[in-house]
Amino acid sequence: MQQLTIRRPDDWHVHLRDGAMLQAVAAATARQFARAIVMPNLRPPVTTTAMARAYRERIQAAVRTTGGDALAAGFTPLMTAYLTETIDPADLAAGHAEGVLTAVKLYPAGATTNSDAGVRDLAAITPVLETLERIGMPLLIHGEVTDSDIDIFDREAVFIERVLAPLLARHPGLKVVLEHITTSDAADFVRSGPANLAATITPHHLHINRNAMFAGGLRPDFYCLPVAKRELHRIALRAAATSGNPKFFLGTDSAPHERHAKESACGCAGIYNAPVALESYAAVFDAESALDRLEAFASEHGPRFYGLPLNSGTITLERVDTLVPDRLDGAVSGDHTTELVPFHAGETLGWKLVG
């Protein structure tokens, strides 16, 4: 097979940022995906329908300015609200009914980038969870405990046991997406869980294990949260993604940080994979002899879980060696342009998006 044409996919987890960084990254996502679930962890976080509406307009304007009218017309950002302990459930429900808010995002406070306004005590948001359950609005979860006495490589598995399983038992009708899963524990839990539980899987967790962060020296470009785990987990994630099971779908977690913010004494967590996302997934499915399952993972399982229509157009990937640049231009401010290091920088991928 030299070309692969599939139904146009969606990205069910992406960070588009704001301001100059949004201008730098938005078109890369819009070029590949018809829709994207946009994460709300801005500063300040997106916590209301009004903020989500305004952010959606900034995203559409950025795609138009940097990619043109046709690209903007073919791309729909799906907005999320950042759950805090004081969020207004009535506003979430109204935003959902209006079509402004697609889902709500739960960040345990302190778990990841810009999560300090997140939730410390789940009991404080019981009324919000009851509302989501009642109206069928999905809850998207960054699934890691934050206790410093739990080893960082165990935080996802411990979250599942201590937080997620009890939460699902308390709210059996709640639609939950466990985002960016990184362990065989998570894949098993989602696979054996109820139909209202699903998971997104990133390209980077399908390609790298934790050794990547230490290969020949400290490699901040491979640092993200949840952090990559042992090889056995990567193998389990590849099996889950390519299995055809509708509970697993595409979510890049593309999370740009300027190069200097990553290559620093306290480097930021996040991998910028948007420019090569589909090529990166295609390489995995190809290596697993599962190219015939890429379309379901990328374009069917997500919309079915969210209760949204499948996209109508197609995209085409060609089997051709493609060198990924070492650096890309990031945010422009005045006469200064920051640098972004894309995932797979300096590597050759065997696929290219051609249409």
Cα–Cα distance measured from residue 3 to residue 95, given in angstroms and rounded to the nearest whole number: 41
Q: Buried (b) or exposed (e) across 276-312, using 16+ Cβ within 10 A?
A: bbbbbbbbbbbebebbebbbbbbbbbbbebbeeeebe
By CB under 6 A, tell whether 112 contacts ligand NCD. Answer: yes
The one catalytic residue in 121, 253, 321, 326 is: 253
Q: State in angstroms the smallest separation of the CB of 319 from Zn ion.
A: 30
Q: State in angstroms the smallest separation of the CB of 269 from ligand NCD.
A: 3
Residue 220 backbone phi and psi in degrees, to 5? -60, -20
Helix (H) or strand (E) holding 248: strand 248-250
Residue closer to Zn ion, measured from CB, 26 or 93: 26
Cα–Cα distance measured from residue 187 to residue 193, given in angstroms and rounded to the nearest whole number: 10
Residue 270 site contact among ligand NCD, Zn ion, none (CB < 5 to 8 Å, cut-off depends on kind): ligand NCD
Q: Which residue in 47, 76, 84, 113 binds ligand NCD (CB under 6 A)?
A: 113
Residue closer to ligand NCD, measured from CB, 39 or 187: 39
Cα–Cα distance measured from residue 121 to residue 171, given in angstroms and rounded to the nearest whole number: 16
Residue closer to ligand NCD, measured from CB, 41 or 245: 41
Query: Which residues of this protein are in contact with Zn ion, per CB under 5 A?
Result: 112, 142, 253
Number of residues that bind ligand NCD (CB under 6 A): 11
By CB under 6 A, tell whether 142 contacts ligand NCD. Answer: yes
* Edge-to-edge strand list for the sheet holding 348-353: 3-7, 314-323, 348-353
Residue closer to ligand NCD, measured from CB, 146 or 243: 146
Helical H runs in the chain?
19-32, 49-67, 69-73, 89-98, 126-135, 155-159, 165-170, 184-192, 203-207, 231-241, 259-262, 277-287, 294-295, 301-306
Within 25-44, which residues bind ligand NCD (CB under 6 A)?
A: 41
Q: State in angstroms the smallest separation of the CB of 170 from Zn ion.
A: 22
292 has catalytic annotation: no
Cα–Cα distance measured from residue 154 to residue 347, given in angstroms and rounded to the nearest whole number: 30
Pairing of β 248-250 and β 10-14:
unpaired
Cα–Cα distance measured from residue 294 to residue 201, given in angstroms and rounded to the nearest whole number: 13
Residue closer to Zn ion, measured from CB, 254 or 338: 254
The DSSP code for 215 is T
Residue closer to ligand NCD, measured from CB, 17 or 64: 17
Q: State in angstroms the smallest separation of the CB of 341 from ligand NCD.
A: 14
Q: State in angstroms the smallest separation of the CB of 15 from ligand NCD.
A: 5
Residue 76 site contact among Zn ion, ligand NCD, none (CB < 5 to 8 Å, cut-off depends on kind): none
The helix-helix angle for 277-287 and 231-241 (nearest 10°) equals 90
Q: Which residue in 89, 95, 118, 270 binds ligand NCD (CB under 6 A)?
A: 270
Residue 80 site contact among ligand NCD, Zn ion, none (CB < 5 to 8 Å, cut-off depends on kind): none
Q: Which residue in 224, 236, 328, 341 binds ligand NCD (CB under 6 A)?
A: 224
Label residue 148 left, alpha or beta by phi (over 0 means left) and psi (-120 to 50 means alpha): alpha
| Catalytic sites, residue numbers | 253
Binding residues (CB under 6 A) for ligand NCD: these are 15, 41, 112-113, 142, 224-225, 253, 255, 269-270
